[in-house]
Amino acid sequence: MRIRVAVIGAGSWGTTVAHLAAANAETVLWARRGEVAEEVTRRHTNERYLPGFALDPELVATDSLAEAVSGADVLVMGVPSHGFRDTLGQVSEHLRPWVPVLSLTKGLEQGSRLRMTEVVGEVLPGRPVGVLTGPNLAKEILAGHAAASVIAMPDVAVATELQRVFAGDRFRVYTNTDVVGSEVGGALKNVIAIASGMADGLGAGDNTRAAVITRGLAELTRLGLAMGGDPMTFAGLAGMGDLIATCISPQSRNRHVGEQLGAGRDIADIVAEMNMVAEGVKAAPVAVELAKHHGVEMPIAGHVAEVCAGRMTARDAYRQLLARDQRPEHYT
């Protein structure tokens, strides 16, 4: 029986995942804007988010949630964290029972401090739920470069079936049962990428960047373990892999935000000129709250949150981080 996939959210990554799925299954992409849906279906492009790239000709799109999800066998959520719950609530009116839900969103819900799969559990209880995550830059995948990702889901049988839906000749998909660790890695790497970008904006060198990435990995691992994640996850695609790609790539939105902050620009101006969401800006204060709740230290995340809130400059943040007391490299 041919599987029907519904991907909600026609940003760069949602569109790319829909493109990948269309090679293996009947796939419908939901776009908020009708003109984007028409472009994807008729011209097989999405110039707003992925200029210059051709999409699978079998991929169709719609601006009707009912049309997108009413016959779906798999639901993929690719909307930003701040609109995730509301969009999912609208989807729930049309989705059949027991349809598995896969989140692409690498963020945390403000206020509740919930991971996206926890939001799914509240809005659509009783369904298999997981995440697709890893070092996946959309434009590189569409350009045909090799990449790898991981589907994290407690139900191994469902994860294995979904693995076949999204895998391609140059896109390897692994499975993992650690949803908590995978989501924490995906959300927190965006925060660390802002810190890495700040170093670039300040004119720091590769030594500084390597230190930020490494100490950032230590921070997100500490929080992930405290929340119940598997330590091996943070050395894998959802942890170190995603962190490296997001911290060093010129395509990274979060790194770009940090670079601009390091150059002295105001966060409001930076965000206003972007046509896609940098999740790390919203995730940073939530990460600080979670760190306090679980009793772990996250100094880099804390300083990123202060800079994004306008209470500190990037230069002052780095001065304070360098002035911290010396300590063993491994501590809890």
In degrees rounded to 5, what are phi and psi of residue 301? -60, -40
Q: For tokens 């501590």, what's the residue?
A: 331
C-alpha span between 188 and 303 (Å, rounded) = 13
| 320-329 burial code (b ≥16 CB/10 A, e <16) | ebeeeeeeee
C-alpha span between 191 and 169 (Å, rounded) = 31
Selecting among 106, 189, 282, 292, the annotated active-site residue is 189
C-alpha span between 322 and 138 (Å, rounded) = 34
Q: Report yes or no: 298 and 224 within 8 Å, Cβ to Cβ.
A: no
C-alpha span between 117 and 151 (Å, rounded) = 13
Q: Report yes or no: 193 and 217 within 8 Å, Cβ to Cβ.
A: no
Q: Please, what is the Cα angle at 121 between 279 and 280, to 5 degrees?
A: 10
Q: DSSP secondary-structure letter at 330?
A: S
Give me the amino acid identity at 72. A
Q: Report yes or no: 99 and 72 within 8 Å, Cβ to Cβ.
A: yes
Q: For tokens 């306090």, what's the residue?
A: 292
Active site residue 139: no
C-alpha span between 273 and 202 (Å, rounded) = 21
105: exposed, middle or buried (C-beta count within 10 Å: 0-12, 13-18, 19+)?
buried
Q: Report yes or no: 287 and 298 within 8 Å, Cβ to Cβ.
A: yes
Question: Rounded to a whole number, what is the largest CA-CA distance in the chain?
Answer: 61
Query: Annotated catalytic sites, by residue?
Result: 189
